[in-house]
Amino acid sequence: MRENKQTIDGILLFSICALLIIGVIMVYSASAAWGEYRFSDPFYFAKRQLLFAGVGCLGMVFMMRIGYWTWRHYVITSLIVCFTLLIVVLIPGVGLIRGGAQSWIGIGAFSIQPSEFMKLGMILFLAHWLASRQQQVASFRTGMLPLLAIIFAAFALIMLQPDLGTGAVMVVTSFIMLFIAGARKSHFALLGAVGAAGFVGLIASAPYRMDRIMSFFDPWSDPLGSGFQIIQSLYAIGPGGLFGMGFGESRQKYFYLPEPQTDFIFAVIAEEGGFIAGIVVILLFGIIMWRGIRTALLSPDLFGTLLAIGIVGMFFVQVLINIGVVIGLFPVTGITLPLLSYGGSSLTLMLIALGLLLNISAHTRIT
């Protein structure tokens, strides 16, 4: 195994930075009305997003500069920390409840989302474990079962908040990593069956999830209730047309879209920038996906490959679910759009993860 001193992937870095800049600008545009209304400051959200982006970039640069293999030493520690945080957030009075889910720890603005940390912690752990015990992965009992137990434990804790979106992203990312690591297809079939049953069970356990799915098939059956968010999102995108309404000209951001700067930022982008802006953003996401998988392919070791695919998998699954919801392909799920949505934990952690990916890209083999 030969390593070459190389520079990081420029295309990847460029795409990340481009999306980050678009994100800060669009958070401003999307949130100006809400910021003015709630905090008498149209720049309220934009300023904070800029701060998060700054902190995130520091993290990214930091990760870029440290060899990714270094983190193998801290894998177990970080997993334990993440589990602890997931338990702490559930303690009444400690975890902060926002939007019906007890997902935050901290004071006011400076709060973190343990589930976001867990996504990254799980990726690190799985990459380390699978790289060390690659031969066992074909065995169900010694390879798959212990991992599934850990993944399920994390998922269960996240579902207690409850946060189906983040939990689902973590599970799907984990499965992608298992798949790449060489897990048997028959095991996946089994997992698929169990997963489908669990999914049905989860939906049955919370009526609002059923509403969301029904409203996905016919949003107009309950336009002011469960169909409201999808309809408002489509009202933003539809009138956008080819070139959009122009920057700052969104109407749906005036209190029609529930949180235009977070989950529905893509709707505002497609409304103000039209089809063109939408395509540019999707293509940038596609490029990151492509360069990420390329990094995984060319990684000098299996740990790097799995780490890279874990990060890019998490990244792209979130893109798929978020945009899918906004354009009416999926039922409403609370997932942020990487690099674009407003949010402290999600943005900084995503940048840290991408820093890791960039570092791997700097150590690719020359083929």
Partner 1 sequence: MSKITRTLVRRRLLLLLLAGITITFILMIRLGYVQFALGGWLTEEAEDSWSRDLPFEAERGEILDRNGEVLATNVSAPSVLVVPRQIVNPAESAAQLAEILEAEEQEIYEQITESSSIVRINPAGRKIEQERASKVRAQRLPGVYIVEDNKRHYPQGEHLAHVLGFAGIDNQGLTGLEKYYDERLQGQSGYVSFFSDAQGQRLPDMADQYEAPQNGMDVRLTINDQVQTIMERELDIAEASYNPDGALAIAMDPDNGEILGMSSRPHFNPDNYQAVSPEIYNQNRPIWATYEPGSTFKIITLASALEEEEVDLDEDRFHDPGYIEVAGQRLRCWKKGGHGDQTFLEVVQNSCNPGFVALGERLGTERLFDYIHQFGFGEQTGIDMDGEGTGILFDEENVGPLERSTTAFGQGVSVTPIQQVAAVAAAVNGGTLYQPYVAKDWLDPDSGLVVDSQTPIEKRDIISEDTSAEVRRALEHVVAQGTGSGAFVDGYRVGGKTGTAQKAQGGRYLENNHIVSFIGFAPADDPEIVVYVAVDNPKDTMQFGGVVAAPIVGEIIEDSLQAMDVPKRDNQVEKELTWSDVPYLDVPDVTGLTLRELHDANYPLNIEVSGEGEEIYRQSPAAGERVEEGSTIRLYMGDKSTASD
Residues of the shown chain interacting with partner 1 in the complex, contacts defined by CB under 8 A = 33, 37, 134, 176, 179-182, 234-242, 249, 251-252, 254-256, 270, 274-275, 278-279, 282-283, 285-286, 289-290, 293, 296-297, 301-302, 305, 309, 313, 316, 320, 323-324, 327-329
Cα distance between residue 331 and residue 325, in whole Å: 6
Cα distance between residue 228 and residue 221, in whole Å: 10
Residue 148 vs 309, nearer CB to partner 1: 309
Q: Report, in Å, the least distance between residue 364 CB and partner 1.
A: 13
3-state secondary structure of 140: helix
Give the pair of three-digit tokens for residue 183. 């897990």
DSSP state of 367: -
Q: Report, in Å, the least distance between residue 348 CB and partner 1.
A: 25
Q: Report, in Å, the least distance between residue 188 CB and partner 1.
A: 11
Residue 299 vs 345, nearer CB to partner 1: 299
- The identity of residue 60, as a single letter, is M
Q: Report, in Å, the least distance between residue 32 CB and partner 1.
A: 11
- Residue 364 · residue 295 · CB < 8 Å: yes
Other CB atoms within 10 A of residue 303 CB = 22
Q: Which phi and psi angles does 97 have, rounded to 5°? A: -100, 120
3-state secondary structure of 355: helix
Residue 211 vs 301, nearer CB to partner 1: 301
Q: Report, in Å, the least distance between residue 103 CB and partner 1.
A: 26
Q: Report, in Å, the least distance between residue 36 CB and partner 1.
A: 11
Residue 176 vs 268, nearer CB to partner 1: 176
Residue 43 vs 81, nearer CB to partner 1: 43
Locate all alpha helices (DSSP H) within the chain, ordered by sequence. 10-39, 44-65, 75-88, 114-132, 145-159, 164-181, 185-205, 207-217, 228-237, 265-298, 302-326, 344-361
Q: Report, in Å, the least distance between residue 222 CB and partner 1.
A: 15
Q: Report, in Å, the least distance between residue 254 CB and partner 1.
A: 3
Residue 164 vs 270, nearer CB to partner 1: 270
Residue 159 vs 180, nearer CB to partner 1: 180
Q: Which of 9, 1, 75 is nearest to 301 (CA)?
A: 1
Residue 72 vs 251, nearer CB to partner 1: 251
Residues 6+ apart with CB under 8 A from 255: 33, 34, 37
Cα distance between residue 332 and residue 278, in whole Å: 19
Give the pair of three-digit tokens for residue 202. 């989860």
- The identity of residue 298, as a single letter, is L
Cα distance between residue 117 and residue 130, in whole Å: 20
DSSP 253-279: TTTTSSSTTTTTHHHHHHHHHHHHHHH
